Structure 1
Amino acid sequence: MASKPGSIHLRIIEIMKRFPEGVTGGQIRQELEKEGLQAEEQTHLDRRKRDLKKWFVIEKHSVTSKAHGNKRKVTLYRYISKRSVVLDEGQVSQRERAEVIHSAHGKCQMCGRTVEKHGIALVVDHKKPRDWGGTNERENLWAICEECNAGKKAYFSSLNVDRAVMKKVTAPDSVHVRIGELLKSVGVGKRTPSALIDVVANQDDWQKRLRELRYPVIGWEIDTLLYKDESGRKRSDYILRRHKPWPPDPSGIIRRFEEERRRRNRDESED
């Protein structure tokens, strides 16, 4: 990463300053488009937003949006200040570890068990493994119990996946592309465990993003297989049946498809 913020970073900061109460990633994208930055130039926008924390203090939190009558969680970004010292991207600091543990409120973010009720001990873990290209960024850290941490490590060790391939499929900024490339790497007609998709997607609502790959503007065919494992827990695997080449800015195309669908539904309800 560059030692100084680039022009795109500074433009994003100026947009955040215009929205002191917070601005969503979608709003940032729209504002950049108004300023003449085309969709193709915004390919790495998510990564550039993440880059900002090196030079600036950015507050990030989730809120419930009721836009178009539909409730959904969105992330708000709020500019706080410029850092006096550039953030070191080395090991996870003790402060960051404490923040991750505190934000879990005594609950394992993988299995849901609690410190108070079940007597578990929480540890800070990388959602996406470091050797798959995972970073120390806050969104890649979570608090899970020691049992889940050991199970996760054993699970990933048992997977017959190439580290170089996983590094490649987890690299794209678009969650849609990450999920799609993972399914392709596993192979057409083969089962991809939901736990693996969860890690690669690194997003709470990854199931919705996977469903969006079935939209006609993307046109992929993906089956869902539901079953119970040996312990009786409900599990799901996904099977890629057919895929098409990626269009330019697939996430943007999906977003515009949904906006147009909402507009049509609204117009039909008013007729």
Structure 2
Amino acid sequence: MTEWETAAPAVAETPDIKLFGKWSTDDVQINDISLQDYIAVKEKYAKYLPHSAGRYAAKRFRKAQCPIVERLTNSMMMHGRNNGKKLMTVRIVKHAFEIIHLLTGENPLQVLVNAIINSGPREDSTRIGRAGTVRRQAVDVSPLRRVNQAIWLLCTGAREAAFRNIKTIAECLADELINAAKGTSSPKTPWPPFSRSLASGPCQTAPHGASPHTLQTTSSSAARSSPDRGHRQTRRVVSPWSGCSGPLTPAIPLALSR
């Protein structure tokens, strides 16, 4: 090699961008051709975190360029008391993706894409006519609105399922995404999974097909014969966990409706 010849510069290979450092977007397939331009998940939309601080709401239709996982994260920030808590929702989505991978063994990004494809409505109705005579007319739903509605429905279902429930919001979100991706409306196994071997012990399970919490109230004849002469009624909530954790829930006096 002469002094005029120079060595070719070494080209550094760009590492694959994986969501949370784990989930690659290379093998994600969008099977619905109408939604391929509106589910931003591959190539230039790949991110390490669903927190890009982009101004996707500044112009019309620009939110279609927002990464789909970030749109899910933003939708989890409803309602008012949760506004602005994006780091919290990022942790929720990360936890939900870990649960999805453990339960299904699939790429959580693929499960999310399939859930959005199955959850978006394809047809809707609009109001035709003036104030006096109004009728409904069937219309097709645009691809962007299908994605918007799917994300809203998934997050709303997870939020309502986690309200006053022992399950966390991440577990409920994982259940919603898995069931939507499979095309089912509810999980097959109850929560929490009761063991039949404990039925003979102090912590007995609820009867098959019955609610885990049973309601016991005094009968009308017992209320009439009681010293209160029916002015008060006693309700006791029996929980399947009551035998293990301690005494039953204390009696709650209720005023009779009649």
Q: TM-score range by the shorter chain?
A: under 0.3
Structure with the higher strand share, 1 or 2? 1
TM-score by length of 1: 0.23
TM-score by length of 2: 0.24
Higher Cα Rg: structure 1 or 2? Answer: 2
Structure with the higher helix share, 1 or 2? 1
